[in-house]
Amino acid sequence: MNSPGSFKCDCFGTGYFGPTCELDIDECTSFPSLCQNNSTCKNSAGNFTCICNSTGYRGRFCEIDVDECLENRTLCRNGVCENRPGSFYCNCSKTGYSGRYCELLISSCLSNPCQNNGGCFSNQGTFYCQCQSGFNGETCQFDIDECRSLRPCKNGGQCLNTHGSYNCNCENTGFEGQNCSLDTNECSLSLCQNNATCQNTLGSYKCLCHNGYTGTHCEAVVDKCRSNPCMNSGICLNTLNGFNCSCGGTGYSGIYCGTDIDECLAAIDQCAKNSKCVNYPGGYSCSCMTGYTGRYCNQTIPVSAARKDPNYLLEISISVVAFIVLAVIILSIWFYLRKNSGKFKGDYKPNVLEMQFGSPYNFFEQDPEEKLI
């Protein structure tokens, strides 16, 4: 607008102010209540915008109420729609339905027909039940026997059906977990004894015993005397690494008391000088000379008594028999030599048969090198 010597800018309605209308007016700050009904004011260059989303109003200043019932006549499905400032209300009274949109059938789910915590949902005048895990049936009235239908327990676990679920008894299977599907590390239970090494296996374990121990848990000492390895009444003694045979007093020696001790040869007998040591398996005896007696022939006996001693009479008898046998052998040899001595010397005389066939020397072929002796 011109004026003498100057001018003036009229900024009304432009959204700007200042001498030349160069400054933007922030309507949102200058007029906080410009946008109504809890709408959001957004400033822009020379203008502003009221955002009415989800307020139930519309218009430049969100001042006009939206009639939801008029714009969407099926908004309340089974009830009467009533418009309210910035909103609406579905009146479900006496309809048998409930919910914001009168969509839930009150008469179907009101009696809680779904059992075992099943969820009830109305559907066009009826209902359906959404059953919890472990139940089925129209009203979730049946318990599912998972042991029969699913066979959930693995690795020999025993299945026990429960109300709405099941349990797996994994005892003595070597496995654990809800379905006995996880291998149990028995080695963590320190079952092996006597410093044995535990070796875990699938569903079980094994104890590797040190020498001298046996049993599932290496709890028993190996009885290596069970097979009676010691001979000749030797006493078997278990040791950590095996066994020992005590041969004392048996007359035998060796690992198994199987070697006879020759007490006579080893000079460990107790026979007196007036006797002879005679070894036999497991012991020895003393053969007493005449005039001695006792186990070790260390006792003397009178001459008269010696003659009555059975050993003395036995010695005499043996001597007589030996003399007779020797004499018979000598005489037999002598008679044998005397009987056969004539076959090797004497005169040759042809017999009658030889004389009939000519010269006695032609009767048989004679080796040129042969000659009569």
Q: Does 203 map to a domain?
A: no
Q: Does 356 map to a domain?
A: no
Q: Does 298 map to a domain?
A: yes
Query: Structure pTM?
Result: 0.35
- Domain count for the chain: 2
> What value does the mean pLDDT take over residues 114-135?
87
Q: Does 118 map to a domain?
A: no
Is the model's pLDDT at 351 over the cut of 80?
Answer: no
From 66, 100, 121, the end of a domain falls on 66
Higher per-residue pLDDT: 338 or 367: 338
Is the model's pLDDT at 305 over the cut of 60?
Answer: no
From 11, 31, 66, the end of a domain falls on 66
Over the stretch 186-220, which tens digit does the pLDDT of each residue have? Answer: 999 899 999 999 999 999 999 999 888 889 999 98
Supply the DSSP string of 132-182, one letter for each residue: PTTEESTTS-EEP-HHHHT----TTPEEEEETTEEEEE-TTTTEESTTS-E
Q: Does 343 map to a domain?
A: no
Q: Using CA of residue 352, residue 358, residue 361, residue 364, what is the dihedral sign?
A: negative
Is the model's pLDDT at 181 over the cut of 70?
Answer: yes
Q: Does 39 map to a domain?
A: yes
Supply the DSSP string of 32-46, one letter for each residue: TTSS-TT-EEEEETT
Q: Does 323 map to a domain?
A: yes
| CATH number of the domain residue 317 falls in | 2.10.25.10
From 18, 44, 66, the end of a domain falls on 66
Over the stretch 249-283, which tens digit does the pLDDT of each residue have? Answer: 899 999 999 999 998 998 888 999 889 999 999 89
Q: Does 313 map to a domain?
A: yes
Which pLDDT band holds residue 314 (cuts at 50, 70, 90)?
Answer: confident
Q: Give the domain range for residue 33.
A: 2-66
